[in-house]
Amino acid sequence: MTEKKQIGIARALSYYNYFPYLYGFFNHLGIEIILSSPTTKKTLSDGSALVVTETCLPIKVYVGHIVELVNKGVKNIFVPSIQSVAHKIYNCSKIRGLPDLIRNVVKGDFKIIEATLDKSEKNQGLYEFLRQTVEPFGIKDFELIRAASKAGFVVQNNFRVMMQQGLSFDEALKYAKEGKVVINRKNNDEAQGAIHVALVAHGYNIYDKKASMDIFKKLSQMGVVVHNANQLTDEQLLGGLSCLNTELYWANQLEVTGCAGHYLKSDLIDGIITVTAFGCGPDSLMVEDIKRKSKNFQKPLLHLTIDEHTGEAGFVTRLEAFCDMLFRNKRAKITRYMDTGIDVNEKTVANIEGIVSLKK
């Protein structure tokens, strides 16, 4: 173990769900975090070169980030094995086997800081997971670990509150790390936009700007207000799941099926966009389920798959075509409402008129 306590963390996969917690936890213990840089073309090619072609994009991205940390000379790299996050609620086999994968494909002078979280097994809960994580740093004091975990939850909860209020991932993370909770009223005003779309995907498929081709920015430039799982409470996500009559099995099913179920029944949402990685088994099952059941809600749904070969032009064309259709649907709906004397928000009408005339 090096004298300076440092831990490398990949800016990939669970980074987009749990990094605020890890930030608070390691900071409290005086362990410096070395984070890999945002994903680039090189990250993708480095990761893709080390795994079989059929591997999903998020895993290739993850491997690429580990390679970057190793090349930077980081000696201790955190690669957890998150088996199950609640009783009988499992992650996919690739996430569960991450330490084995990294051990076998990434060569170099580094040590894997490996810990297992398996809430379906006895004695593999959060504190055992944290104990395994910090043991290589010589930290054994249970009270200290507990206090660090509490500090992690404070950062995570602040982050969550800001995400629910509509802040961007980057803004919410920045403020949460600074120990602040900032509620941006401007975001609530922007929610008055013309078209509202629910973006249904795992965090790593939409917040990684390279992998997702910065889908948030692209939709915003098209005049679309984007909603996603991070704006919902656990109760709303669970309600979405039961609305689609689906049993919970996968660890990240709430952010996909739960999110889709919630927004399918929402009058505010004009359409649903699902984004999944090519070759993802759990997502293909979840999206099939969503597609089948979404017919009852009569909401347009666009399904996009991403991999390292996805062309940006084709991706944007599909987004534009879908949003064009939503704009026209909405304009027709508003016209019908106005004809029947139903009061329609003036700002919405103005937005729709403006955008549709621009597109003519």
Q: What residue ranges bind ligand SF4 (CB under 6 A)?
A: 56, 58-59, 92, 94-95, 202, 277, 280-283
Place of tokens 């139903």: 342
Give CA separation, 78 vs 14, 58, 145, 219, in Å.
12, 17, 17, 34
Counting Cα atoms < 13 Å in the Cβ hemisphere of 267 gives 1
Q: Are 153 and 162 in contact (CB under 8 A)?
A: no
- Smallest gap from Cβ 281 to ligand SF4, in A, equals 6
Q: Is 297 exposed, middle or buried (0-12, 13-18, 19+ CB in 10 A)?
A: middle
- Smallest gap from Cβ 250 to ligand SF4, in A, equals 7
- Smallest gap from Cβ 84 to ligand SF4, in A, equals 14
* Residue closer to ligand SF4, measured from CB, 208 or 283: 283
* Residue closer to ligand SF4, measured from CB, 61 or 130: 61
- Smallest gap from Cβ 321 to ligand SF4, in A, equals 25
* Residue closer to ligand SF4, measured from CB, 10 or 277: 277
- Smallest gap from Cβ 199 to ligand SF4, in A, equals 16
Amino acid at 360: K
- Kind of pairing between the strands at 89-90 and 195-200: unpaired
Strand ranges (E), 108-223: 111-113, 116-118, 195-200
* Residue closer to ligand SF4, measured from CB, 61 or 151: 61
* Residue closer to ligand SF4, measured from CB, 59 or 200: 59
